[in-house]
Protein backbone atom coordinates (compact mmCIF):
# COMPACT_ATOMS: atom_id res chain seq x y z
CA UNK A 1 0.00 0.00 0.00
CA UNK A 2 1.24 3.47 -0.81
CA UNK A 3 1.18 6.12 1.89
CA UNK A 4 1.31 9.88 1.74
CA UNK A 5 2.33 12.08 4.65
CA UNK A 6 0.74 15.52 4.72
CA UNK A 7 1.36 18.44 7.02
CA UNK A 8 -1.51 20.25 8.72
CA UNK A 9 -1.23 23.30 6.38
CA UNK A 10 -1.35 21.02 3.33
CA UNK A 11 -4.40 19.26 4.70
CA UNK A 12 -6.08 22.62 5.41
CA UNK A 13 -5.33 23.74 1.85
CA UNK A 14 -6.93 20.60 0.45
CA UNK A 15 -9.98 21.08 2.68
CA UNK A 16 -10.23 24.73 1.59
CA UNK A 17 -10.35 23.79 -2.07
CA UNK A 18 -13.10 21.25 -1.36
CA UNK A 19 -15.09 23.97 0.43
CA UNK A 20 -14.68 26.34 -2.53
CA UNK A 21 -15.82 23.67 -4.98
CA UNK A 22 -18.81 22.72 -2.86
CA UNK A 23 -19.79 26.32 -2.21
CA UNK A 24 -19.55 27.17 -5.89
CA UNK A 25 -21.66 24.22 -6.94
CA UNK A 26 -24.16 24.97 -4.18
CA UNK A 27 -24.53 28.59 -5.28
CA UNK A 28 -24.97 27.59 -8.90
CA UNK A 29 -27.78 25.21 -7.94
CA UNK A 30 -29.50 27.44 -5.36
CA UNK A 31 -32.19 30.04 -5.94
CA UNK A 32 -31.66 32.24 -2.86
CA UNK A 33 -29.65 35.14 -4.31
CA UNK A 34 -30.23 37.15 -7.46
CA UNK A 35 -29.29 35.22 -10.58
CA UNK A 36 -26.39 37.46 -11.64
CA UNK A 37 -24.78 37.63 -8.19
CA UNK A 38 -25.28 33.94 -7.55
CA UNK A 39 -23.76 32.92 -10.87
CA UNK A 40 -20.81 35.32 -10.55
CA UNK A 41 -19.89 34.11 -7.06
CA UNK A 42 -20.68 30.48 -7.86
CA UNK A 43 -18.53 30.34 -10.99
CA UNK A 44 -15.71 32.20 -9.24
CA UNK A 45 -15.66 29.75 -6.35
CA UNK A 46 -15.99 26.75 -8.63
CA UNK A 47 -13.19 27.80 -10.97
CA UNK A 48 -10.91 28.83 -8.10
CA UNK A 49 -11.48 25.47 -6.46
CA UNK A 50 -10.74 23.59 -9.68
CA UNK A 51 -7.64 25.63 -10.53
CA UNK A 52 -6.15 25.28 -7.04
CA UNK A 53 -6.89 21.55 -6.93
CA UNK A 54 -4.51 20.80 -9.80
CA UNK A 55 -1.24 21.98 -8.18
CA UNK A 56 -2.27 20.58 -4.79
CA UNK A 57 -3.04 17.22 -6.38
CA UNK A 58 0.37 17.19 -8.04
CA UNK A 59 1.99 18.03 -4.69
CA UNK A 60 0.23 15.15 -2.95
CA UNK A 61 0.92 12.59 -5.70
CA UNK A 62 4.60 13.60 -5.88
CA UNK A 63 4.96 12.99 -2.13
CA UNK A 64 3.71 9.37 -2.34
CA UNK A 65 6.06 6.65 -1.23
| Whole-structure pTM value | 0.66
- In angstroms, the CA 47 to CA 33 distance is 19
Q: What is the DSSP letter of 32?
A: S
Tell me the C-alpha to C-alpha distance, in Å, between residue 16 and each of 13, 23, 34, 53.
5, 10, 25, 10
**The predicted structure's pLDDT at residue 56:** 83
CA–chain centroid gap for 65, Å, is: 24
Average pLDDT over residues 19-29: 84
Average pLDDT over residues 18-33: 82
**pLDDT one-digit tens code per residue, 26-59:** 888 887 778 888 888 888 888 888 888 888 888 8
The CA R_g of the chain, rounded to the nearest whole Å, is 15
Amino acid sequence: MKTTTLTIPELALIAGTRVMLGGGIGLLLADRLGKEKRQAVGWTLLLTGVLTTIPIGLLVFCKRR
